[in-house]
């Protein structure tokens, strides 16, 4: 499974990349605005930091077909490889997914709210599909719908990957891993809550305290 971070906060990217095998970074227009920097500053910063093998997914802002295509070409031209344009699955977007794929551009179909529209984007050649799991859960069982999508792609022999997005708790992560999800884009807060288990920290503290009390040091060897 690919581990992706859903943020444009370079400090968060660096912190998480220092201790996990991070496969890439996703952003969207709102996430870029939250960085407090302009896109002209923050996008090059992220590009400068990422290794060439780490993937970068940047979302188009234009809503019309010509604008989406122009931005998809621009995004794909930012790095020699491993760069994908995120295109929302609107009517204009679906058409752009097909044509961008036919031009050889990397495409992630995003803002997905149903397995059926996701499936159309897969048929149009998207490399990745990003269902908005938590937002889908407002209308039904978002996890089950994503599990169905994974199955639909498998039985139809499509190699499009599903990248779960819009995750709001670790139980959603747990269920999606069990369902065989190919990629998850994690908000840093969710990843940090998976890393920082209070029970683990407490157990280590107790081990160290008993060791220090008995041997007067906090290392294995004197
Ligand atoms: O990657 C998609 C994501 O950023 C949307 O998440 O939390 O706004 O539903 P959220």
| Residue 108 falls inside a structural domain | yes
Under the banding of pLDDT at 50, 70 and 90, the label for residue 209 is very high
Decide: 27 in ligand 1 pocket, CB within 6 A.
Answer: no
CA distance 176 to 183: 9
Distance 7 CA to ligand 1 centre (A): 10
Look up the domain containing 177 and give its range. Answer: 2-195
Number of other residues whose CB lies within 10 A of the CB of residue 209: 11
Going by alpha carbons, the residue nearest to atom 8 of ligand 1 is 166
- Average confidence (pLDDT) over 130-142: 95
Number of other residues whose CB lies within 10 A of the CB of residue 155: 8
Decide: 34 in ligand 1 pocket, CB within 6 A.
Answer: no
Under the banding of pLDDT at 50, 70 and 90, the label for residue 65 is very high
Q: What separation, in Å, do the N-terminal and C-terminal C-alpha atoms of the chain show?
A: 42
| Residue 10 falls inside a structural domain | yes
| Residue 215 falls inside a structural domain | no
CA distance 44 to 23: 18
pLDDT of residue 100: 98
Quote the percentage of the chain above a pLDDT of 90: 100
CA–chain centroid gap for 103, Å, is 24
pLDDT of residue 64: 98
Under the banding of pLDDT at 50, 70 and 90, the label for residue 26 is very high
pLDDT of residue 219: 98
| Residue 133 falls inside a structural domain | yes
For the chain, the residue count is 222
- pLDDT tens digits, one per residue of 84-125: 999 999 999 999 999 999 999 999 999 999 999 999 999 999
Contacts of 85 (CB under 8 A, 6+ apart): 57, 58, 59, 60, 71, 72, 75, 76, 100, 105, 106, 107, 108
Distance 207 CA to ligand 1 centre (A): 40
Quote the percentage of the chain above a pLDDT of 70: 100
| Residue 134 falls inside a structural domain | yes
CATH number of the domain where residue 131 is located: 3.20.20.70
| Residue 102 falls inside a structural domain | yes
| Residue 212 falls inside a structural domain | no
Distance 202 CA to ligand 1 centre (A): 32
| Residue 214 falls inside a structural domain | no
Question: Which class for 168: exposed (0-12), middle (13-18), buried (19 or more C-beta within 10 A)?
Answer: middle
pLDDT of residue 206: 98
Q: Determine which one of 14, 15, 55, 86 is catalytic.
A: 86
CA distance 134 to 205: 35
Number of domains in the chain: 1
Q: Give me the chain's average pLDDT, please.
A: 98
């Amino acid at each position: 499974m690919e581990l992706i971070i859903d943020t444009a906060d370079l400090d968060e990217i660096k912190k998480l990349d220092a201790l996990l095998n991070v496969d890439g970074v996703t952003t969207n227009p709102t996430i870029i605005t939250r960085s407090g920097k302009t896109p002209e500053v923050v996008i090059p910063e992220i590009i400068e930091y990422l290794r060439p093998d780490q993937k970068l997914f940047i979302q188009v802002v234009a809503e019309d077909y010509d604008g989406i295509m122009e931005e998809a070409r621009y995004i794909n031209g930012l790095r020699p490889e491993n760069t994908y344009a995120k295109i929302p699955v609107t009517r204009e977007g679906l058409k752009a997914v097909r044509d961008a794929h036919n031009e050889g551009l990397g495409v992630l179909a995003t803002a997905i709210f149903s397995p059926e529209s996701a499936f159309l984007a897969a048929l149009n050649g998207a490399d990745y599909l990003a269902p908005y799991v938590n937002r889908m859960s407002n209308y039904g069982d978002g996890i089950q719908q994503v599990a169905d999508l994974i199955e639909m792609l498998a039985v139809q022999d499509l190699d499009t990957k599903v990248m779960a997005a819009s995750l709001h708790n670790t139980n959603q992560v747990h269920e999606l891993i069990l369902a065989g999800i190919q990629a998850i884009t994690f908000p840093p807060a969710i990843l940090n809550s998976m890393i920082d288990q209070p029970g683990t920290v407490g157990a280590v503290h107790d081990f160290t305290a008993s060791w220090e009390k008995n041997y007067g040091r906090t290392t294995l060897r004197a």
